[in-house]
Structure 1
Amino acid sequence: MDDYLAVNRLNWDERAPAHAESPDYGFDRFVADPAHLSTVVRFDQPLLGDVAGLRGLHLQCHIGTDTLSLARLGATMTGLDLSPASLEQARRLAREAGPDVDYVEADVYSAPQALGGRTFELVYTGIGALCWLPDIERWADVVDALLEPGGRLFLREGHPMMWAVDDGHTDVLALGYSYFETPEPWDEDEPGTYVATDVEFEHNRAISWNHGLGETMTALLSRGFEVTGFVEHRSVPWDALPGRMVKGELDEWSLVEHADRLPLTYTLQARKGR
């Protein structure tokens, strides 16, 4: 396998400016309205609760709209991402819209070293993040290292059942990919991106993995975490299965037919032991 970090960094670096200019991320709304929050964080709020005063870290923060939203809810936020182009956009948004956010460039597995041993009261991992990591056990080690005793993990992620569906079929829900983590990644070359843009990209290769729910939970439990919440959702914040979905509230997409047959995302919360 090629260096997955280099391949994926090229992919995200090229897409970051287009994402920042897309109406789907809504940079202009953040600048115009100091109370505006990303649709992702607004979806998370009922389960997220009050984060005011917490020292928070957003892993794989991309262009920072969710990170800034958490800061607007009163958390003192740090964002971490492997893409310098993404962080350039995130820093621009923080300058123009506020409040301040500390951004650090690093991949997830290098986060403890890049952050100089700092620990946090909240680690937040946004949606569409874990799939870029080859080893969920190493991810759990990182979360354990970054949280202070009693600290809290908040994770909303694409459901491994959704990732396993072959999106090339529009008439049936067919499983075309592994539900479980495998040594071999999904190595795909696909043009375009998940937001509205007219930009044509050159770097279209992406390398990703799936992680089963049991694998993710067990990785946390085996490190002494207490799972404090788990909810499966019937919606996802992008058109994940084209031709079979409809957009609803908070720009969340759900299946047009038989929405109860497939979980699309999940929210997992856990607390580190004291």
Structure 2
Amino acid sequence: MTDNDDPGPGRPGTDYRTLNRASWDDRAAAHAASPDYAVERFAADPAHLSEVVRFDLPRLGDVAGLRGVHLQCHIGTDTVSLHRLGARMTGLDFSGASLTQARSLADRTGAAVDFVQADVYDAPDVLGGGFDLVYTGIGALCWLPDIRRWAGVVAALLRPGGRLFLREGHPMLWALDETRPDGLLVVDQPYFERTEPVVWTEGGTYVSTEATFTHNTTHEWNHGLGEVVTALLDAGLELTMLHEHDSAPWDALPGRQVRDAHGEWRLTERPWRLPQTYTLQARRR
């Protein structure tokens, strides 16, 4: 991505959800058609799981029979994967175009998954509570301006004893300048949550595609790891697991990384320098 000094349509006063939803709507079909999401493999192989869910299987444990909700589910590949592991899943996203692709995936695979269009902050009002599992995958929290409000949503959705399972891009990774030609790892963006968004204008997307897009301005926020944990604790959850990983399921730093046997990307040189993602689990007290 490239930082945009002249936000244009992202000027102050523009609702971030309107801008971000337009961007996701614009890209949903291209994501579903890209080999990176492997929609055709989902349709052909009833045992196939998304790379994100498969990576965390040792930590996820048995979800069979659990009533779960996947927040910010996009085109539903992680949601369908959790369904294939036996959970009774609902997917929620604010992008209608994304949910069109998610419902198509569920139809093609015979997955009994409900998909609901709503903003994540409205999830308790739309879905109620009593869930055994709240799941959130990579690249979700950066679209939300208030991590404490999000933690309150998670707590409201969960039954007592229910758990949150989250894998997310590490805030250290989000804070780096990913475009430097000299290969240095330089912190250039906010690590901590700030009121004002980082405004980006970027014409592509993170999957392999030849599609072109027209809605290219987005508003994003970073949330420090301590901010995420503290928000969950204050919302009435207890932390039961936190693992930082030196890898990510996409090439976050092109030209500086190598893909491993599990499909994850990590730094070619001294990968232990950088946490790229983390997996967190917390239970509602």
Distance, in Å, in 2 between the alignment partners of 1:251 and 1:6 is: 34
Equivalences for residues 200-215 of structure 1 within 5 A: 200-215=212-227
Gap runs ≥5 in structure 2: 1-11
Q: State which of 132, 143, 147 in structure 2 corresponds to 1:121.
A: 132
Q: Which string of whole-angstrom CA distances, capped at 9 and with x for unpartnered residues, describes residues 222-269 of structure 1?
A: 122110000000111111112211222332111111100010000110
- The alpha-carbon deviation at position 119 of structure 1 amounts to 2.4
The residue type equivalent to 1:11 in the other structure is: S
Distance, in Å, in 1 between the alignment partners of 2:192 and 2:274 is: 17
SS in 1 for 2:56: helix
* 1:35 to 2:47 alignment: yes
Q: State which of 123, 145, 152 in structure 1 corresponds to 2:156.
A: 145
Q: Which string of whole-angstrom CA distances, capped at 9 and with x for unpartnered residues, describes residues 73-120 of structure 1?
A: 0000000000000000000000001221000001110111121x2320
The residue type equivalent to 1:125 in the other structure is: T
Distance, in Å, in 1 between the alignment partners of 2:216 and 2:264 is: 25
* 1:252 to 2:264 alignment: yes
User: Which residue of 1 is the match for residue 29 of structure 2?
Assistant: 17
Deviates more, 1:250-259 or 1:5-14: 250-259
Equivalences for residues 68-83 of structure 1 within 5 A: 68-83=80-95
TM-score of the two chains, using structure 2 as the length reference? 0.94
Question: Alignment length, in residue pairs?
Answer: 272
Q: Which string of whole-angstrom CA distances, capped at 9 and with x for unpartnered residues, describes residues 40-76 of structure 1?
A: 1100111001100000000000000000000000000
Equivalences for residues 67-106 of structure 1 within 5 A: 67-106=79-118
The residue type equivalent to 1:47 in the other structure is: R
Q: State which of 221, 239, 262 in structure 1 corresponds to 2:233.
A: 221
SS in 2 for 1:193: coil
SS in 1 for 2:59: helix
Deviates more, 1:46-55 or 1:251-260: 251-260
Distance, in Å, in 1 between the alignment partners of 2:61 and 2:261 is: 20
User: Is the 8 Å Cα contact of residues 189 and 206 (structure 1) preserved in structure 2?
Assistant: yes
User: Is the 8 Å Cα contact of residues 78 and 101 (structure 1) preserved in structure 2?
Assistant: yes
Q: State which of 195, 202, 211 in structure 2 corresponds to 1:190.
A: 202
Distance, in Å, in 2 between the alignment partners of 1:240 and 1:46 is: 24
Distance, in Å, in 2 between the alignment partners of 1:137 and 1:71 is: 28
TM-score of the two chains, using structure 1 as the length reference? 0.98
SS in 1 for 2:22: helix
SS in 1 for 2:215: coil
Q: Which string of whole-angstrom CA distances, capped at 9 and with x for unpartnered residues, describes residues 103-157 of structure 1?
A: 0001110111121x23200000001100000000000010010001000000110
User: Is the 8 Å Cα contact of residues 68 and 98 (structure 1) preserved in structure 2?
Assistant: no
Identity across matched positions, percent: 65
Across the aligned residues of Structure 1 and Structure 2, the Cα RMSD in angstroms comes to 0.8
Distance, in Å, in 2 between the alignment partners of 1:14 and 1:214 is: 33
Distance, in Å, in 1 between the alignment partners of 2:211 and 2:259 is: 23
Gap runs ≥5 in structure 1: none
SS in 1 for 2:145: coil
SS in 1 for 2:134: strand
SS in 2 for 1:169: coil
Distance, in Å, in 2 between the alignment partners of 1:113 and 1:184 is: 26
The residue type equivalent to 1:238 in the other structure is: W
SS in 2 for 1:46: helix
User: Which residue of 2 is the match for residue 167 of structure 1?
Assistant: 178
User: Which residue of 2 is the match for residue 52 of structure 1?
Assistant: 64
The residue type equivalent to 2:150 in the other structure is: W
